[in-house]
Structure 1
Amino acid sequence: MRKLFPLFALLLLSISSKAQNIQQLIDQKAKALLPKVIEWRRHIHQNPELGNREYKTMEYIAAHLKSLGLEVTTGVAKTGVVAILKGGKPGSVVALRADIDGLPILERTNVPYKSTVMADYLGQQVPVMHACGHDTHVAILMGTAEVLASMKKDVPGTVKFIFQPAEEGPPGTEEGGAALMVKEGVMENPKVDAIFGLHISADTEIGKITYKSGAFMASSDWFTIKVKGKGAHGSAPWTGIDPIMISAQIINGLQTIVSRSSDLTKAPVVITVGKFNGGVRENIIPEEVTFSGTIRTLDSKMQKEVHEKIKHTAKTIAEAYGATAEVVIDTKTLVTYNTPALVTNTLPSLQRAAGNENTVEETWTTGAEDFSYFGEKAPAFFFNLGGMPKGAKSTSHHTPDFLIDDSMLDVGVKAFCNIVFDYGKVKK
């Protein structure tokens, strides 16, 4: 029996040495590839496309993936790309996701690769910009695919690369985004055992990774409330039923759902009215007013409760004044929930990519992500990657001044590659 101990020790040493070699190789390849990752990112930034219209972006991504010898499918959920890498070792099916769409925003930065693209959005010509960093997500995943393809014989299991369109929401009444990808079977054939995604953060310094177990990002619902009253002359409001005044009372009432009837010790709730349409002339009380907004919750039960409270509040306030209120609520995303066990098991992968001191747990956010739909089908983990220049002030996402430092995108590539080698070894 004692003779077996040295053999066992040698086996452990060999396994440890192999793992170290893999880690060093990932680090070396990711660093060497960084200039190309930056080049891809800046090309995509200069040529943004809106959701469900990312045709050139789709072609650009697919051409690269095909050059790596991957199994590539295009046109998934209209303009998405899915690629399969079958590793040389047995293991799990790991999915990695990047979103690819831009936003209808006029870029105001002075970078040499600034976007000047114009496109049609619901019949209107609008400027287009990658004002949320999806260009970096695409480049990171393209780089990850190249590194893993070059290490194919050592890759455990199967890797599914998902390049998702329309994360910001499809135009008008079109279907799109993660929900449509799931509907079309992207989490099947082969069935995904776990899915991972990242988001660049303009509030986090480059080189850092932030994460949270459990609820991480909010659900997003859009609501529209139509208040019907009775028109009248502005000089004699008592002859009508004023839907503008009633709508103002409803808007105030919606805020009491947050401040007086939601358990904010459990999770945050946000109700914001962002659009108001009513009236055509100063001295005419209109018959009808419509206003719209968004709801953010971080608990699925609270999400349903808030929906019911909004309907009840709007309808009862309207009835109190002799009007009627119609409420329509459209769920855009679910709560982005990071599977706790998966977070715990994946943390070492992130720490090796960014360093222990640069891998930081944070609180939840009321921003939303349709990555949540993938989490309905498999354990999921979504984390943030720093994009703020060192010593600089952050810029807000979804604004003309949004700016990302892309000099350390290799940290994202290393994180994804580490995840594949670590989680992929889990046999299913």
Structure 2
Amino acid sequence: MLDKALAIRDKIIEIRRVIHANPELSFQEFATARLAAAFLDELGYQVREHVGKTGIVADRGAGSTVAIRADMDALPIQEENEIEHRSRVAGVMHACGHDAHVACALGAAVLLAQENLNGRIRILLQPAEETGDEDSKSGAARMIEDGAMDGVDAVLGLHVSASLPAGAIGIRPGPIMAASDSFHLKIIGHAAHGARPQDGVDAVALAAQVINAIHQIVSRRISPLAPGVITIGTIQGSSARANIISQSVDMTGTIRSFDEKLRKLLHQELRHACEMSKALGGSYELTIKQGCPVTINDPKLAELVHSTAIDLLGEDKVIIVEPDMGSEDFALLAQQAPGCYFWLGAAIKDDPRHHHSPRFDIDESALHIGAAMFAEVSKRILGWKSEAAEKGKLDDFMAFRQSRKKPE
């Protein structure tokens, strides 16, 4: 499969560059979707458009179903790279690699169209991984609502990594990406003249104490063996003048965790920390918005991805990675069927480019490996008609999938 992928590497890179030059924000991926739909239709896939608003579902074959998912949306960042295929859209850039994900998925679609598989391949091109809509629902949630995961027996996803060596595969069973929740906190005091603080309740002073309490939650209220993060990302006082004591202070932040028990504990302790404002004469309003759950790799599927990567690339190219505090709405898909999410190393040697930055870029020489991994893992799950005995290697996985199905 790797040799077949290498033969179409230039096409995969070309697709990535076209999408990179024409980035689209979440739920606005109209041109990207049209490009992908036309490409898949030409390969003989049955294409359904406008799934989850701007998503694509494309099927080939029948029977047990493996879904390959790629996200399509870009970020509101002005690109600084001086490259021929730099973004043509002011203030919008593929700064996280979703252009590469689409290219890998379409490359896999080409490879799998050449196989006589004993099952169905479903290509899921998903909008809006980076953010939600007016109801705070991401692209994965919207696609699930529109039936994109109906009948799926296993789902695969990847993310290019700007830190792993180009061509390496990063994988681990179990939790691989964190749950992500956001919060908005308003600390409320009483405004007064800056020269007479005794006449008011300084919301800035209250906020300072609350922030210290919040920053002690992870270090003092949870086990050091249980990874968690609470970050305050923004803070804004209500006063517009230096000599006015703020009536209120608004803060926003993020909460990250790897299991539901810890997730609930962090929420609870955040509320407790905010109570300090009351003890000092103020009050607060706290809203916690639950986001993506933990991304959990099915152990059997993760082992298959691991062994496939070794077979294709060699043991030295396969890395057991640590869980990442980033979050992914792939987690929602993996709640619908056994899932596996892995990293594709794409670091530019001696010139690291960070995700979500204006200079983000990748080593494109790795993209055919992502396509080959998608295709080969799918092939091994389904087996192929000319060598149906190979399917026996994964009979236990498919039986496991059946055991997870909810009763009608």
Q: TM-score, normalised by structure 1?
A: 0.87
Distance 1:215 1:175, change over 3 A: closer
Distance 1:264 1:178, change over 3 A: farther
Partner SS for 2:64: strand
State the distance in 1 between where 2:191 and 2:98 align: 47
Structure 2 partner of 1:257: 217
Structure 2 partner of 1:49: 24
State the distance in 1 between where 2:297 and 2:187 align: 39
Letter in 2 for 1:304: K
State the distance in 1 between where 2:360 and 2:117 align: 36
Letter in 1 for 2:346: G
Any idea what the Cα deviations from partners look like across 1:166-220, whole Å, max 9, x if unmatched? 00013555533212222222110xx111111000000011111011111111111
Residue 130 (structure 1) aligned with residue 125 (structure 2): no
Comparing 408-417 with 43-52, which one deviates more in the overlay?
A: 408-417
Any idea what the Cα deviations from partners look like across 1:88-114, whole Å, max 9, x if unmatched? xxx631111000000001111111111
Letter in 2 for 1:143: G
Partner SS for 1:333: coil
Q: How does 1:132-171 map to 2 (within 5 A)?
A: 132-151=96-115, 154-170=116-132
Structure 2 partner of 1:207: 167
Residue correspondences, number: 385
Q: 2:286 aligns with which of 327, 348, 355?
A: 327
Q: How does 1:1-400 map to 2 (within 5 A)?
A: 26-86=1-61, 92-118=64-90, 127-151=91-115, 154-170=116-132, 173=135, 175-188=137-150, 191-265=151-225, 267-278=226-237, 279-314=239-274, 316-389=275-348, 391-400=349-358
Any idea what the Cα deviations from partners look like across 1:257-309, whole Å, max 9, x if unmatched? 111011121x3111111111212111111222111011111122101110111
Mapped contact 1:215–1:336 kept (Cα < 8 A): yes
State the distance in 2 between where 1:285 and 1:254 align: 23
Mapped contact 1:233–1:283 kept (Cα < 8 A): yes
Any idea what the Cα deviations from partners look like across 1:356-398, whole Å, max 9, x if unmatched? 2201111111111111111111111100001113x42321100
Q: Which has the larger radius of gyration?
A: 1
Mapped contact 1:107–1:116 kept (Cα < 8 A): no
Letter in 2 for 1:131: A
How much has 1:73 moved relative to structure 2?
Answer: 0.8
Partner SS for 2:373: helix
Letter in 2 for 1:256: Q
State the distance in 2 between where 1:247 and 1:199 align: 38
Partner SS for 2:216: helix
How much has 1:345 moved relative to structure 2?
Answer: 3.0
Q: 2:365 aligns with which of 379, 403, 407?
A: 407
State the distance in 1 between where 2:16 and 2:95 align: 13
Mapped contact 1:155–1:420 kept (Cα < 8 A): no
Partner SS for 2:364: coil
Q: Cα RMSD over matched residues? A: 1.4
Partner SS for 2:77: coil
State the distance in 2 between where 1:27 and 1:386 align: 16
State the distance in 2 between where 1:371 and 1:116 align: 28
State the distance in 2 between where 1:345 and 1:57 align: 31
Mapped contact 1:271–1:295 kept (Cα < 8 A): yes
State the distance in 2 between where 1:318 and 1:257 align: 16
Letter in 1 for 2:331: S
State the distance in 2 between where 1:79 and 1:308 align: 37
Structure 2 partner of 1:5: none
Mapped contact 2:79–2:86 kept (Cα < 8 A): yes
How much has 1:338 moved relative to structure 2?
Answer: 0.8
State the distance in 2 between where 1:147 and 1:373 align: 27
Structure 1 unmatched ranges of 5 or more: 1-25, 119-126
Structure 2 partner of 1:22: none
State the distance in 1 between where 2:273 and 2:335 align: 31
Partner SS for 1:365: coil
How much has 1:344 moved relative to structure 2?
Answer: 1.7
Letter in 2 for 1:138: V
State the distance in 2 between where 1:224 and 1:197 align: 31
Letter in 2 for 1:202: A
How much has 1:346 moved relative to structure 2?
Answer: 3.1
Q: TM-score, normalised by structure 2?
A: 0.91
Mapped contact 1:169–1:332 kept (Cα < 8 A): no
Letter in 1 for 2:216: T
Structure 2 unmatched ranges of 5 or more: 384-393, 399-408
